[in-house]
């Protein structure tokens, strides 16, 4: 059995060799994200509430959009602070071709993931003990897509990537199916 040297494993995430975007771009992004968050919050408030507020279908989108709005405000404040300090990006710092390729790969993976959930839809019902479960296309497709996404940013052993993807997928599946009682995409 071979051992992996810790120096051989390198995280190549979104922050690798990157600095801040120019303040103007961050301000534009902050404005767009804030507007998107407001639209989602308003739409989630318009959903009917069949039970209590805690079971409202718009609660999770509202919380997620509120979080996005808060992050957009922080991004905008950071951009304003950098703009006032006179920070600008150098032309050669704006494009990072390897990162652009990873971004295109990520977008392609997400598009293929969404398509696969629609095309490969199935459901298998089974029980473990007396607890019923549903296996749908969500689980295998999500494991594959998540492993591919993780692998584009992290060059660790593939078995760790796949186990991580399986763990997160299982956690998501059990949380939504058993805790929230919400069917996952990829079924009928």
pLDDT at 33: 95
Nearest to 40 by CA among 29, 32, 50, 28: 32
Give the distance, in angstroms, between the CA of residue 39 and the centroid of all CA atoms in the same chain. 19
Give the pLDDT confidence of 78-92 residue by residue, as tens digits. Answer: 999 988 988 776 555
Q: How far is CA 88 from CA 1, 75, 92, 99, in A?
A: 50, 16, 12, 20
Q: How confident is the model at residue 67 (pLDDT cuts 50, 70, 90)?
A: very high
Quickly tell me which residue has 């660790």 as its tokens: 156
Q: Is the pLDDT of residue 9 over 70?
A: no
pTM flag (> 0.75): no
């Amino acid at each position: 059995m071979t051992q992996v040297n810790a120096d051989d494993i390198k995280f190549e995430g979104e922050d690798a060799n990157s600095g801040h975007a120019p303040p103007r771009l961050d301000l534009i992004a902050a404005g767009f994200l804030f507007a998107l968050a407001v639209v989602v919050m308003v739409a989630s408030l318009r959903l009917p509430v069949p039970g209590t507020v805690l079971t409202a279908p718009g609660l999770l989108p509202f919380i997620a959009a509120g979080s996005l709005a808060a992050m957009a405000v922080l991004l905008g404040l950071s951009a304003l602070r950098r703009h006032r300090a006179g920070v600008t990006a150098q032309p050669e710092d704006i494009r990072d071709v390897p990162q652009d390729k990873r971004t295109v790969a990520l977008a392609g993976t997400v598009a293929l993931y969404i398509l696969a959930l629609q095309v490969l839809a199935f459901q298998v019902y089974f029980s473990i003990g007396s607890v019923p479960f549903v296996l749908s296309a969500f689980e295998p497709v999500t494991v594959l897509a998540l492993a591919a996404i993780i692998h584009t940013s992290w060059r660790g052993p593939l078995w760790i990537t796949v186990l991580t993807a399986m763990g997160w997928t299982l956690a998501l599946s059990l949380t939504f199916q058993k805790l929230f009682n919400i069917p996952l995409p990829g079924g009928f």
